[in-house]
Amino acid sequence: MFNDYFDITGLVSRYQPMIKDNPDLDFAIKQQLSDCTQGLKLELIKSNPYTEIELALLNAELEFDEKAATSVRFKNDIISYQRFISQAQLPSDKKYWLKELTVLDDKVNKLNQQKRKITAIKTKHNHLLTHWRKQYDKAHSKWQLEAIRQFQEKFLSELNDWLEQIKILSEVVESLGLEPGYLLDFSEGKLTLSDVEKLKKWAEYLPNDEGVKSLCEMLGKLRQVTLSDKIETIKKTINMPEMVFDGDSKQEIVGLKLGKDLEHVLPSELALMSDPETSILFDLKYLESSLMCFDMAGISIDHAEQVVEQSIQKEDKKGPMVICIDTSGSMHGSPETIAKALSLYLTTQAKKEQRDCYLINISTSIEILDLSQGYSLSSLLTFLQKSFHGGTDVAPAMRHGINIMKNDAYENADMLIISDFVMSSLPNDCLELVEQQRIKGNRFYSLCIGNAFMTNRLKTHFDSEWVYNPSNSSITELIKFQNDVIDSAIII
C-alpha cells in the first residue's frame, strides 16, 4: 500500500545519468525510500487522531459478541459514537439515535419475555455498531490519505532538493578531475542537505580559485610512485619456436623409399609398364610394396614452453598520509575554508588511491580522525566542521602524528601541515623526532596560507614548504626560493 504513494519514477528518470554513473547513489535513494516507508508507518500510528475512538469501537464490538445485550451498554456506545462524530466533524445524527433509544425503551417495556427483550436490544445495538464502523473507516481513510499525501510531498521535495544539490556538487568535483563516486560515498553513511551545502562550499574553492586548483594538483603528487631498489627474481614461462619435420605434409623430397604410392613412384619404375614383358615385374613390385618412390615430407614450426628466471624492480606504493589542519583563531575565515577544502580533496584522493589517511585538527589542543579503516562522508564532514579558534601550537599534533607513523599501518607515511604558521618555533624534542622519522623514510611537508611567514630556521625542517597567498592566488615554494637566493649570493 505505502509504496503506491511513493512513486519516484519521474524523479529518478530526471537524474538517471547521474544515478547510472554512481551505483552507491542508487542504493542510497532506495534506502531513503525504504526508511521513508517505515517512517510513514510509524507516523500514521503515532499521529492517528482516532486512536481512542478506535479502541472504544473495538471494545464495543468485542463485548457485543461475547456478552448479552443490555440497554445500558447500548446507551454508553451511543455516547461514544456521538463523541466520534463530533471529533471527525461529521453531520450530527444525535436526534436519530435518541429517537431510536426511546422507541427501543418503549418496545422493551411492552415485551414480557426476557429473550425477546434481549433480541430487540441486540438488533438496535448491531445497527449502531455497523453504522459506527462504516463511519469510522470512512473518516480514518480520509485522514490517512491526506497524511500520506503530505508525507509524500515532503519526502519527494526533500529528495529532489537533495539530488539537485548532489548534481551541482558532482559538476563541481568533476571540473577538477575527481570522480564523483569517490567523493559522494553513500555506501557508509548518509548526507543531509546541510552536509551537502557545506561540502559544496568547500568544494567550490577547488575549481574557482586557480591557486587552490594548482595546490591540489601539486599536493596530490606528493610521494609519487618510485622504483624500489629491491630487485626480485621471478620465474616466467615463455614460448620458444622450433622447426620440426612433418611426415603428413608432402611439401619437399627428402629421399627415397619402397612403397606403392603411384603418385610418387620414380619414372624408372613407371617405365616397366611400357614393355609387356616387364609390366609383370611392375605388378609384382606393386603387390609387394617394393616400388622405388620419392620420400616426401614438410617442415612446421612448433612452440615449446620454457621456464626462465627474470629480475624485476618493484614499484613502491604511495605511503599513507597524516594531515594536520590548523583551525586556530588566526585561520578564521578564508584561510580555514581553503585549508578544509584542500583536506577534503586530499582525503578523497587518498581513498581513491587506497592510501590510509589520518587527520589531526590542531590549535592549542588536537582532535583526530583515523580514516584507515574506511569512513562515511558524513563523519569526515563532521570532523572538518570543527574549529577551535584559539592559539596555535603545532608541536602536540606533530608528536601525535609521528607516534602514528611508528605504527605498521603508517610506515613510510607523509605528513602535511596546513597552517598560517603564526606560532612560536618548534621545540627541540619535536625537531629530533622529525629527523629520526626522516631517516626511516618519512617525509614532512608544510603549506602556509597567508602572508605571515615563520623564521627561516623553521622552514628548513620540512622536505618541502609552500606559501599560498589567497589575495592573488600565488604559490611560492620557500625552500626553492632559499636555494635561489643562496645561488645568487655565490655568483655575486
Residues facing residue 474 across a β-bridge: 469
Provide the pLDDT confidence category of residue 106 given band limits of 50, 70 and 90: confident
Over 80: is that where the pLDDT of 303 sits?
Answer: no
Kindly report the average pLDDT of the chain as a whole number.
Answer: 77
Percent of the chain at pLDDT > 70 equals 74
More confident residue, 30 or 322: 322
Question: Scanning the structure block, which residue is given the C-alpha cell 567550490?
Answer: 204
pLDDT in tens, 250-279: 777 888 989 988 888 999 899 988 888 888
CB 12 within 8 A of CB 163: no
Distance (Å, whole) CA 314 – CA 139: 75
First to last CA, the chain: 87
Question: What pTM value is reported for the model?
Answer: 0.55
Angle among Cα 118, 120, 121 to the nearest 5 degrees reads 65
How many other C-beta atoms can be found within 10 angstroms of the C-beta atom of residue 24? 15
414 bridge partner residues: 321, 443
- Our CA angle for 80, 147, 159, nearest 5°, is 160
Asked if the model's pLDDT at residue 386 lies above 90, the reply is no
Average pLDDT over residues 412-427: 83
DSSP for residue 176: T
Measuring CA to CA, which residue among 478, 408, 473 is closest to residue 447?
478
pLDDT (0 to 100) of residue 306: 67
- In a 3-state reduction of DSSP, which class is residue 247? coil
Return the pLDDT at 34: 84
pLDDT given for residue 333 in this prediction: 82
d(C-alpha 30, C-alpha 39), whole Å: 14
Residue 226 pLDDT more than 90? no
The confidence score (pLDDT) of residue 400 equals 92
Q: What is the Cα–Cα distance from 183 to 377, expressed in whole angstroms?
A: 8
369-401: b or e for each residue (b if 16 or more CB lie within 10 Å)? bebeeebebbebbebbeebbeeebbbbbbbbbb
Q: Which residue has the higher pLDDT, 94 or 481?
A: 94
pLDDT score of 253: 83
Residue type at 313?
Q
Backbone φ, ψ for residue 370 (5° rounding)? -90, 115
Pairing of strands 474-477, 227-246: unpaired
Return d(Cα 395, Cα 241) in angstroms, integer: 66
Compute the distance between CA of residue 263 and CA of residue 234 in angstroms, rounded to an integer: 54
| Stretch among 24-28, 130-134, 135-139 having the lowest mean pLDDT | 24-28
Domains and CATH numbers, the chain: 1-187 (no CATH), 240-314 (no CATH), 321-491 (3.40.50.410)
- What does residue 328 show for φ and ψ, rounded to 5 degrees? -75, 175
Which one-letter amino acid corresponds to residue 103? V
Pairing mode, if any, of strands 414-419 and 443-449? parallel
Query: Residue 16 in 3-state DSSP?
Result: helix
Lowest mean pLDDT among 13-27, 149-163, 168-182: 168-182
pLDDT at 258: 92
Where do the H-state alpha helices sit in 184-310?
193-203, 205-208, 210-219, 267-270, 276-287
Gyration radius from the chain CA atoms: 45
Structure confidence at residue 487 as a pLDDT band (50, 70, 90):
very low
Give the pLDDT mean for 370-395: 76
pLDDT of residue 21: 74
Mean pLDDT to the nearest integer, 370-384: 76
Residue 347 half-sphere exposure toward CB, CA atoms < 13 A: 30
**45-75 confidence digits (pLDDT tens):** 888 888 888 888 888 888 888 777 788 888 8
Sheet containing strand 414-419, edge to edge, reads 366-370, 357-362, 321-326, 414-419, 443-449, 464-469, 474-477
Most confident of 33-37, 351-355, 363-367: 33-37
Question: Cell 614393355 identifies what position?
Answer: 275
* pLDDT confidence band for 290 (50 / 70 / 90): very high
Asked whether the beta carbons of 313 and 443 are under 8 A apart, the reply is no
Locate 20 and state its grid cell: 547510472
For the beta carbon of residue 70, count every other beta carbon within 10 angstroms.
15
In the structure grid, which three cell numbers stand for residue 461, read together?
Answer: 625542517
pLDDT at 340 over 90: no
DSSP 365-403: SEEEEE-TT---HHHHHHHHT----S----HHHHHHHHH
